[in-house]
Amino acid sequence: MKRLSQYRNIGIMAHVDAGKTTVTERMLYYTGLTHKLGSVDEGNTVMDSDPQEEKRGITISSAAITTYWNDHQINLIDTPGHVDFTAEVERSLRVLDGGVVVFCAKSGVQPQSETVWRQADKYEVPRIVLINKMDRQGANFLHVVQEIREMLQANAVPVQIPVGAEDNFSGVVDLITMQAYVWNSDDGKQFVVTEIPAHLQEAVLQARKNLLEELSLVDEQIFEKYTEDPAAVSAEDLYAALRKATLHRVLIPVLAAAAYRNKGVQPLLDAVVRYLPSPEEMGKLKAESVPAFAENGNESSSTNVEKESVLVENENESSSAKNESHPVSLNDSPLTALAFKIMADDYAGKLTLVRVYTGALHTGDMVWNSRTNKKVRISRLLRIMSDKFEAVDEIGAGDIGAVVGLKEVRTGDTLSDPAHPVSLESIDFPEPMIGYA
Ligand code: GDP
């Protein structure tokens, strides 16, 4: 099993048409699981495969898809971009540890992207920004960065500078390694690492100076090194500082891409692993919403099981204080999991997607549903890969997977250890609009 630090539970969020499906598809392609490049325009992408979805003409999507990159497991959780699906968006935001927000390099910040942004703010989702469609006529990277700063009041800071734009968009200069990555073919597979093109030197130096200044404002070590000798700040220092700043949402790293032309997707995957938090980091940050069970902590004895579940308030100060004074590993704690989506699959039947916060779900377990006050049996567990289901015996803390055929479970229900019943939320979400209502 992977360590908690090797998981990334992330959502790709975007205004409809910014390229969320294409970015997701390309990420799956580069992570090696989708062997054939799907195309949105041909309607054969993985995320667009639901016929219900086609009927409505908007991008919602199936699910949460698991993939792997550089020794990390990335669970891509779909966040619907359509404004009518606010409840569904919010539900999925609860289970994310981080987000990639996609903007179009030409259209910039649009009303819907503002809605998505505010929702991510509400759930305190750390995020990075991808400015996509750099190949479009009228694409303007820095203009969109400025719009994000002004219209969304967000501290968006480029970590890359695009090489060219529109038809001439050919690569990105990484402001941390100070190298240019230039794609030399349209399948985006091949790129060369080169010197920074002469005409970009000045803009790159200015952008790096800006990035270092921003980081030195939030990181004392960087500040000291930077004020002594900016050249002494290493890439490792910067990665660590950016990770911390992103986690605490004081800074939002911005990247450039033309996903459709397969440019900028591998650096995006690297950025997901580098800058977005693991469940462990988020667990520490949001101790109040992740009930790590302290010894003598927030538990009720098994004799109380048949009576009532314990409600763990999101803002419960006393429980977070307890968590801090008695830190317990998320893996070793009793089970707490949230059912965040119910799906119907032709092959597997009813699937309940769950995010496990603490402990683990095993096949054969009896778990407590806090809403119905009943025990339910976990008969089969699946991991959803881009092209197949993989049967698993366990879904551990920090991970996401699907339970097959769970009865009487709705989205928003908490599943927990019957000896330690918990309810993660008191929010009543509307019934799902698709699948098993
Ligand atoms: P979504 O609605 O956000 O999921 O967006 P899609 O991925 O469906 O993309 C919307 C349209 O933009 C499709 O026609 C894509 O082919 C196109 N598109 C996506 N990425 C790019 C890109 O990098 N450059 C250009 N020019 N078009 C793109």
Q: The tokens of 353 are what? A: 């997607």
Per-residue pLDDT of the chain (437 residues; tens, 9 = 90+): 678 899 999 999 988 889 998 999 889 888 875 444 445 555 554 444 443 333 322 233 457 899 999 999 999 998 876 555 566 677 778 889 999 999 999 999 998 888 889 888 988 899 999 999 999 999 999 999 999 999 999 999 999 999 999 999 999 999 999 999 998 766 666 778 888 999 999 999 999 999 999 999 888 888 888 888 888 889 999 999 999 999 999 999 999 999 999 899 999 999 999 999 999 888 777 654 444 433 333 443 333 333 223 333 333 333 433 344 344 577 788 999 999 888 888 788 899 999 999 999 999 999 999 999 999 999 999 998 877 788 999 999 999 999 999 989 998 899 999 999 988 865 443 333 333 22
Q: Which amino acid is at 78?
A: D
- CA 153 from chain center: how many Å? 21
Q: Between the CA of residue 422 and those of 93, 152, 230, what are the distances in Å? A: 20, 36, 50
277 marked as part of a ligand binding site = no
Q: Could you tell me the end-to-end alpha-carbon distance of the chain, in angstroms, rounded to an integer?
A: 34
Distance in Å, CA 257 to ligand 1 centroid? 11
Residue 234, classified by CB atoms within 10 Å of its CB into exposed (0-12), middle (13-18) or buried (19+), is exposed
102 contacts 117 by C-beta, under 8 angstroms:
no
71 marked as part of a ligand binding site = no
Write down the pLDDT at residue 293.
Answer: 36
Distance in Å, CA 427 to ligand 1 centroid? 34
What CA–CA distance (Å, rounded) separates 83 from 370? 30
Write down the pLDDT at residue 83.
Answer: 54
Per-residue DSSP letters for 284-341? HHTTTTS----TT-S---GGGTTT-PEE--TT-HHHHHHHHHS---TTTSPPEEEEEE
Write down the pLDDT at residue 369.
Answer: 95
151 contacts 109 by C-beta, under 8 angstroms:
yes
Q: Which of ligand 1's atoms lies nearest the C-alpha of 17?
A: 2
User: How many C-beta atoms lie closer than 10 Å to residue 252's C-beta?
Assistant: 22
Q: Which of ligand 1's atoms lies nearest the C-alpha of 257?
A: 23
What CA–CA distance (Å, rounded) separates 141 from 188? 20
Residues with CB under 6 A from ligand 1: 14, 16-22, 40-41, 59, 132-133, 135-136, 258-261
What CA–CA distance (Å, rounded) separates 246 from 223? 17
What CA–CA distance (Å, rounded) separates 431 from 412? 10
Write down the pLDDT at residue 161.
Answer: 97
Out of 12, 27, 40, mutate this one to test ligand 1's pocket (max ligand atoms within 8 Å of CB): namely: 40
What CA–CA distance (Å, rounded) separates 88 from 63? 12
Q: Residue 81 region, left (φ>0) first, then alpha (ψ -120 to 50), else beta?
A: alpha
Listed residue (16, 66, 70) closest to 46, CA to CA: 66
Q: Which of ligand 1's atoms lies nearest the C-alpha of 263?
A: 23
Q: Which of ligand 1's atoms lies nearest the C-alpha of 47?
A: 4
Distance in Å, CA 38 to ligand 1 centroid? 12
Out of 12, 13, 15, 17, mutate this one to test ligand 1's pocket (max ligand atoms within 8 Å of CB): namely: 17
Q: Which amino acid is at 246?
A: T
Distance in Å, CA 33 to ligand 1 centroid? 21
Looking at the whole model, is its pTM more than 0.90?
no
Listed residue (370, 437, 358) closest to 398, CA to CA: 358
Nearest 5°: phi and psi at 150?
Answer: -85, -50
Q: The tokens of 119 are what? A: 């929702």
Q: What is the DSSP letter of 432?
A: P
Out of 260, 261, 263, mutate this one to test ligand 1's pocket (max ligand atoms within 8 Å of CB): namely: 260
Q: What is the DSSP letter of 365?
A: -
